[in-house]
Amino acid sequence: MIGRVGETPTSPPTDYREVFDKANDGLLIHDADTGEILDANPRMCEMYGYTTAELCRLDIAAISSNEPPFTESASRRNIRRAVQTEPQLFEWVAKAKDGSLFWVEVNLKMIRIGGRDRLLSIVRDISERRRAEEETERLRSALAHVSRLTTLGELSASLAHELNQPLAAILANAQAGLRIMQTDCFDRGEIQDILADIAVDDVRAGEVIRRMRELLRDRRLTSQLVDVRELIADVFGLVRSDAILAQTKLEARVETGLPPVLGDPVQLQQVILNLVVNSLHVMKEWHGDRRRVTVVALPETPRSVRIEVRDTGPGIPEALGPRVFEPFFTTKPQGLGLGLSICRTLVEAHGGKIQAEFTSEPGAKMVVTLPSGRRPGKTRLSATHG
């Protein structure tokens, strides 16, 4: 019952010039061999600020930003691929006549016009979309920063403790040294030992401050290879004292030869920190034995890394399931309920996943899966989460 006998479609118009002139995307016709611009439609002229005649005299390099990776050689490569293999779709930074730069999406496709091979560029201005994406990214960073400040606030007593330990040792050592040197004959070796200890404790205090500052800084997102072992060590360094207060052992198990993950080191640290702090909060109120928070990192697939944060507390009721990741969901009397929801936002922005796993083992188990990185700088942090 498809179609009816006797009906014919109305004949299509044969002159397509109107379509070219009125299209709401910029259209360029190139010579497929040289890449030379042969024609440009009014929308194209409007976007770039040139007349058709001007555009036809220009080289494609003139309408690109030419900032890497948006270089002339890259655009020639795209054209070659479109001509030789298949249509190309990519985002590009373009340059208008007045020198202003803007984001476009370019679709390159081979067509035949008047019996000749031509390359059609369909150019769409996506500045608005990019601005919205950048705004989303900016908001996400701001939210992540606020959340880090909150976490640090919760840890402030512990961090003060971490800082006061070396300071106490330095002061006691210095005053012991002064007393020893007041005696007539003192052991130079002992003074040397004291000074060496002071230096070690000073470095230790500096390390606490470095970790804190890393988290406090409101900074641009970076994408780099992050060593999971270092990531966990930094998190443990921040919560060590809190773990003692919760009478809980911290344990890290990182598989040897684990590839690094790709992403922003501070945001990734924030995710793991949040999960570990959550577990410690639970352990503080929990009176069971075998008190332990374990972070396990192992490869999940050849291209992803799995990081598990487990505790030996009462666990998460399975009925709550994914609700724990919803904003404002909390079981803590003073909690805002944003920690896990921010974790999820950050993990998803890294192209990863976060979930609670329910097993027969006691305690809670949160699993973060992140893409592993072998090729630095190739993958951009995708903005899939809005």
What is the closest distance, in whole angstroms, from the C-beta atom of residue 241 to another protein in the complex?
7
- Phi–psi pair at 113, nearest 5 degrees: -125, 125
Smaller CB separation from another protein, 159 or 266: 159
Cis status of the peptide bond prior to 333, with omega within 30 of 0: no
Alpha-carbon distance 13 to 37, whole Å? 26
Smaller CB separation from another protein, 113 or 180: 180
What is the closest distance, in whole angstroms, from the C-beta atom of residue 175 to another protein in the complex?
4
The one-letter amino acid code at 147 reads S
**Lateral strand order in the sheet of 353-356:** 249-254, 292-301, 304-311, 365-371, 353-356
What is the closest distance, in whole angstroms, from the C-beta atom of residue 168 to another protein in the complex?
4
Q: In whole angstroms, how far apart are CA 158 and each of 97, 151, 164, 212, 241?
A: 58, 11, 10, 12, 5
Smaller CB separation from another protein, 166 or 265: 166
Smaller CB separation from another protein, 201 or 311: 201
- Among positions 9-38, residues that touch another protein (CB under 8 A) are none
Binding to another protein by CB under 8 A, coded x per residue (else -) over 224-243, reads: -----------------x--
Binding to another protein by CB under 8 A, coded x per residue (else -) over 82-121, reads: ----------------------------------------
| Helix or strand (DSSP H, E) at 227 | none
312 binds another protein (CB under 8 A): no
Alpha-carbon distance 49 to 216, whole Å? 44
| Helix or strand (DSSP H, E) at 126 | none
What is the closest distance, in whole angstroms, from the C-beta atom of residue 307 to another protein in the complex?
25
Alpha-carbon distance 231 to 272, whole Å? 8
- Among positions 158-217, residues that touch another protein (CB under 8 A) are 158, 160-162, 164-173, 175-176, 179-180, 190, 194, 197, 200-201, 204
Tokens of 369: 């899966």
- DSSP H helical segments within 96-224, as ranges? 127-182, 188-216
Binding site for another protein (CB under 8 A): 157-158, 160-162, 164-173, 175-176, 179-180, 190, 194, 197, 200-201, 204, 241, 244-245, 247, 249
